[in-house]
Amino acid sequence: MSVETTSDIEGPQGADHPEQETRRSKKWLKITGIVVAVIHEVIGVEELVVEGKPLETVHFRLTSNVGEDGDDISGLFASDLWIGPVSGVTVKRTLNADVSAKTIVGNVGFKETYDLKAKSLEPIS
């Protein structure tokens, strides 16, 4: 398998408030002929409620665009995470994935969507 990479980093993007600035990192990978764009973004600081209490979190987004329509593999993988900056605990996570691949038995698809949110910040054990 051959992998080629290039990257392009963009700084703050014209947000109205400094705490809402978006910071973005984009990397292009070429893996055995399929182009994958991987984008990491800091969306901003957001307040979520856990156990009835407000909690400041940092909202991150990871997006992978795999190939293009007509390629042997193509689709989208997008995941958002809200992390408590003090604890480092993932408070909320969402996923939306829709990828398809051409195989000897025809097109095979993978779709997954979920939305998870912590009920508590206390350890289980």
Q: What is the DSSP string of 46-102?
A: EEEEETTEEEEEEEEEEEEEES-TTSSEEEEEEEEEEE-TTT--EEEEEEEEEEEEE
Mean pLDDT for 85-113 is 91
Mean pLDDT for 89-115 is 93
Average pLDDT of every residue of the chain = 78
Instruction: pLDDT band for 80, please (50, 70, 90 cuts).
Output: very high
Determine the pLDDT at residue 57: 92
